[in-house]
Amino acid sequence: MKSRIKELAKKYAPEFISIRQHLHAHPELSYVEFETSKFIQAKLKEFGIEYEIKATTGIVGVIKGKNPSKKIIALRADMDALPIQEENVIDYKSKNDGVMHACGHDVHTTCLLGAAKILNELKNEWEGTVKLIFQPGEEKNPGGASYMIKEGVLENPKPSAIFAMHVHPGLPTGKLSFRSGKVMASADEIYITINGKGGHAASPHLCIDPILIASHLIISLQQIISRNANPLNPTVFSITSIHAGATTNIIPNQVKLMGTFRAMDEEWRKKAHELITKNATELVQSMGGEIELKIDVGYPTVYNNEALNTQAISAAAEFMGSENIQETEIRMGAEDFGYYAQLIPGCFYRVGVMNKEKGFVAGVHTSKFDVDEDAIETGIGMMAWFGSSINS
Which residues are known to be catalytic?
A: 299, 373
d(C-alpha 6, C-alpha 24), whole Å? 25
Region near Ni ion per CB under 5 A, out of 1-9, 97-105, 124-132, 177-185: 97-105
Told to check if 132 binds Ni ion by CB under 5 A, we report no
Nearer to Ni ion, 63 or 167 (CB): 167
**Residue from 8, 13, 73, 103 in contact with Ni ion (CB under 5 A):** 103
Within 13 Å, how many C-alpha atoms sit on residue 262's CB side? 18
* Least distance in angstroms from the C-beta of 386 to Ni ion: 19
Q: Which is nearer to Ni ion, 10 or 365 (CB)?
A: 365
The footprint of Ni ion on this chain (CB under 5 A) covers a number of residues equal to: 1
Min CB(139)–Ni ion separation in Å? 7
Q: Interacting stretch for Ni ion, rule CB under 5 A, among 102-110, 185-193, 196-204, 338-346?
A: 102-110
Bridge-partner residues for 376, per DSSP?
none
- Closer to Ni ion at the Cβ: 76 or 175? 76
Measured from the CB of residue 114, what is the shortest distance to Ni ion in angstroms?
18
Within residues 337-376, the interface with Ni ion by CB under 5 A covers none
Smallest gap from residue 66 Cβ to Ni ion (A): 34
- Would you say 178 or 337 has its CB closer to Ni ion? 337
Q: Does 84 bind Ni ion (CB under 5 A)?
A: no
Q: How far is the CB of 38 from Ni ion (least distance, A)?
A: 22
Cβ-proximal residue to Ni ion, closest one: 103
Question: What CA–CA distance (Å, rounded) separates 4 from 381?
Answer: 10
Short-list 389, 392, 381, CA closest to 114: 381
Residue closer to Ni ion (CB basis): 78 or 209: 78
Residues 32, 38, 40, 44, Cα dihedral to 10°: 150
Instruction: Specify whether the backbone of 158 is left (phi greater than 0), alpha (psi in -120 to 50) or beta.
Output: beta
By beta-carbon proximity to Ni ion, the closer residue of 44 and 103 is 103
CB of 166 to Ni ion, least distance (A): 6
Q: Which stretch binds Ni ion (CB under 5 A): 40-48, 101-109, 289-297, 366-374?
A: 101-109
Cβ closer to Ni ion: 13 or 102?
102
C-alpha dihedral over 61, 65, 67, 72, to 10 degrees? -40
228-287: which residues touch Ni ion (CB under 5 A)?
Answer: none
Could you say which residues in the range 19-38 bind Ni ion, by CB under 5 A?
Answer: none
Q: Which stretch binds Ni ion (CB under 5 A): 100-108, 149-157, 215-223, 270-278?
A: 100-108
Instruction: Point out which span in 99-107, 263-271, 326-334, 349-357 binds Ni ion (CB under 5 A).
Output: 99-107
CB of 79 to Ni ion, least distance (A): 11
Query: Which residues contact Ni ion (rule: CB under 5 A)?
Result: 103
